[in-house]
């Protein structure tokens, strides 16, 4: 069975090297919708695959990091990157260009790692990330799966090369969340009451 949770964020970017002149030469924004799909052949003690309420903490913080932020490709013009960081408190740098396709891969990798480091406490069994869908517009989206997220042909993504501004980190429930994720520390789901 597959379950789906929808998240939303507003984000600005430039997609260098794309065909559209508006997109590759001008900073612009989108109202993104992100669908996270989990799968399992088992139900937990609450007869669910994974309680949607559990997605309102660390997963939500990771995705909400992109809200009202500018996402930068770390290979872009250093002067542009410096100016964005100077005049914007909310920014993220990625080791890949911030296209919808690469947003899918980045978000997939972050949530897949988080899920692998999560201690389940309510009988969740063999829950895995099935897919991530990123809607850049109402009419266009990208969808990715495990093989896409980890594809070397699409450009390697090392989570250590993703950097969040201090302002973004301050808004997380746990300001050390990213450091813990990168260090392989465990995230423990709450006990069922």
CA 70, 74, 75, 76 dihedral sign is: positive
Residues 6+ apart with CB under 8 A from 71: 11, 12, 13, 91, 92, 93, 94, 98, 103
Residue 13 falls in the annotated catalytic set: no
Residue 138: exposed, middle, or buried by beta-carbon count in 10 A (0-12, 13-18, 19+)?
A: exposed
Whether 18 sits among the annotated catalytic residues: the reply is no
String of DSSP letters for 104-168? HHHHHHHHHHHHHTEEP-S---S-EEEEEEEESSSS-EEEE-HHHHT-STT----GGG-EE-HHH
Q: Which of 104, 130, 127, 133 has the alpha carbon at shortest distance from 115?
A: 127
Instruction: Please identify which of the residues 30, 35, 68, 163 carries the catalytic annotation.
Output: 68
To the query of whether residue 23 is one of the catalytic residues in this protein, the response is yes
Question: What is the pairing mode between strands 91-94 and 69-73?
Answer: parallel
Q: Of these residues, 13, 101, 124, 136, which one is catalytic?
A: 136
Looking up tokens 């808004």, which residue turns up? 171
- Alpha-carbon Rg for the chain, nearest whole angstrom, is 17
User: One of 23, 30, 35, 163 is an active-site residue; which one?
Assistant: 23
Catalytic sites, residue numbers:
23, 68, 136
């Amino acid at each position: 069975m597959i379950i789906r949770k929808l998240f939303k964020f507003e984000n600005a970017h430039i997609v260098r090297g794309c065909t559209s002149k508006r997109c590759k030469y001008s900073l612009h924004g989108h109202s993104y919708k992100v669908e996270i799909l989990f799968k399992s052949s088992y139900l937990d003690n609450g007869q669910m695959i994974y309680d949607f309420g559990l997605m309102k903490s660390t997963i939500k913080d990771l995705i909400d990091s992109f809200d009202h932020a500018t996402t930068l490709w770390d290979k872009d013009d250093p002067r542009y990157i410096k100016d964005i960081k100077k005049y914007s408190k909310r920014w993220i740098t990625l080791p890949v260009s911030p296209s919808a396709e690469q947003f899918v891969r980045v978000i997939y990798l972050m949530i897949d790692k988080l899920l692998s480091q999560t201690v389940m406490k309510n009988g969740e069994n063999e829950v895995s990330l099935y897919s991530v869908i990123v809607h850049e517009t109402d009419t266009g989206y990208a969808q990715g799966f495990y093989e896409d997220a980890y594809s070397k042909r699409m450009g390697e993504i090392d989570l250590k090369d993703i950097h969040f501004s201090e302002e973004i980190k301050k808004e997380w429930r746990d300001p050390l969340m990213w450091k813990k994720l990168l260090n392989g520390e465990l995230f423990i789901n709450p006990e069922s009451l």
